[in-house]
Amino acid sequence: MFHKFCVLFWNVRGLNRLSKRYMVKQIVLDNRCSLFFLSETKLNACCRRIVRQLSGFHSSNNYQVINANGLSGGLLAVWDSSIWSCTNCIIREWSIQLFLKHHLSNFAFIAVGVYGPPSRIHRVAFFQELRQFFSNNHEPILAAGDFNITLHNGERLNCVGNAADSRRFSKLIADTGLLDFPISKNLYYWTNKQRPSTLAKLDRILINNNLASSFPLSVASSGNRRLSDHNPLMWHSSSQSEAIRRPFRIEVGWLKCDQFSHIIHAGLVPPHSASSSASPLCRWLSLWKPLRRTILEWDKFRRVSWSKLRVETESRISSLNVLANSDSINEAKFEELKSLKGVLHKCYNDTCTYWGQRAKKRWLKDGDRNTRYFISVLPSAE
């Protein structure tokens, strides 16, 4: 049995202020992270006291660090040793690779925190380091962090990237069979906080087929940028608050919209980073999760527009009915009234379909007839 856990990856842009460490700790506790990676710490040295200020974990020897070079760089990995045991740790120039094992489930995987070089002259060596690691390890792998590189032009706004490096990075993901894990809420996870804003997806989460098969219900989310110019990324082994979160269901009203079929056809196009060597489950997840998010966002916009249209139509029909009752309506207004009544009838049908799907089936079938079902749901008479 796999237990739920959460992993945090974040470029924090410095951890020298005590107040900032406590704010990071609050984020770790709020998301119940048992493992987290913090990049660009700007710490020339790290100790257990700093680790406790960041995590609240009281166990010792539960962290690995790459010290900063002056006022830049630095990578810190911290795990809760009451949940995880670290069987091995490999520290490279741009990554920390932890071989972890869960105490209760004995599930073992490799967690990799990455802080890519901002300079282009080191990216070839950076790609070689990642390719060598991903090719030589076939255990479940979760690799994430600030890669300082985008996959294509669509991941940049108001800035220019290196097309050759983007092609190398995309080829690296495809050749090693990795999945660029979809993250909810945002498209860009870094900004220069200026106007006009420069935005880019420099942070990402990569997983392999084995991890996707082990956790098919895993999700990823991003937090806000209140402490840094990067969004914190959180990978959850299963859906958050499964008991509260509504399952995804197809709405009957969607099938009556022509727009819905266009969204389905557009969403089933494989992404650029899809690998032919990936497992069928991994390929399906790479298509389904972004498609599900697109459908839900479209449905939310549709319901708001639909409610607004109904109110405006009812108001316009009321004003036209006043003209009709006073015999001062012309033929064009009369045709408009007939057309608006058809639109309003469709809105009412959509409302009935929406709430009818959410009603109890037995209640719809039996209604308030004097049946055994109706008597059974009535409050018992004293």
Q: What is the DSSP string of 23-87?
A: HHHHHHHHTTEEEEEEE----S---HHHHHHHH----SS-EEEE--BTTB--EEEEE-TTTEEEE
Residue 120 CB partners (closer than 8 Å, separation 6+): 162, 165
Provide the 10 A C-beta neighbour count for residue 147.
22
Domain ranges of the chain: 6-245, 251-382
Residue 369 CB partners (closer than 8 Å, separation 6+): none
* pLDDT the model gives residue 35: 94
In the numeric block, the tokens 């009544």 are attached to 341
What does the pLDDT average to over 375-381?
A: 53
Alpha helix ranges (H) inside the chain: 18-30, 48-55, 123-136, 163-175, 209-214, 258-267, 280-325, 331-358, 361-366, 372-377
- What is the per-residue pLDDT across 106-162, written as a single tens digit (0 to 9) for each? 899 999 999 999 888 899 999 999 999 998 888 999 999 999 999 988 888 888 888
Asked if 43 contacts 64 with a C-beta cutoff of 8 angstroms, the reply is: no
Q: In what order do the strands lie in the sheet with 179-180?
A: 84-91, 95-102, 108-115, 141-146, 203-207, 179-180
Helix (H, G, I), strand (E, B) or coil at 307: helix
Distance separating alpha carbons of residues 115 and 65, to the nearest angstrom? 12
pLDDT tops 70 at residue 261? yes
DSSP label at residue 323? H
For the domain with range 6-245, which CATH number is right: 3.40.50.300, 3.60.10.10, 1.10.3720.10, 3.40.50.2300?
3.60.10.10
The confidence band for 65, taking pLDDT boundaries of 50, 70 and 90, is very high
Residue 53 CB partners (closer than 8 Å, separation 6+): 18, 21, 22, 25
Q: Which amino acid type is present at position 84?
A: W
337: buried, middle or exposed (CB in 10 Å: 19+, 13-18, 0-12)? middle
* pLDDT the model gives residue 381: 42
Of all residues in the chain, the percent with pLDDT exceeding 90 is 32
Is the dihedral angle over the CA atoms 173, 174, 178, 180 positive or is it negative? positive
Whether the model pTM is above 0.85? no
Distance separating alpha carbons of residues 147 and 178, to the nearest angstrom? 15
Distance separating alpha carbons of residues 20 and 376, to the nearest angstrom? 59
271 to 153, 211, 263, 293: CA distances (angstroms)? 14, 20, 15, 15
Residue 257 CB partners (closer than 8 Å, separation 6+): 302
- What is the per-residue pLDDT across 168-218, written as a single tens digit (0 to 9) for each? 999 999 999 899 998 877 788 999 888 888 899 999 999 999 998 888 888
Q: In what order do the strands lie in the sheet with 156-157?
A: 156-157, 199-200, 190-191
Asked if 86 contacts 65 with a C-beta cutoff of 8 angstroms, the reply is: no
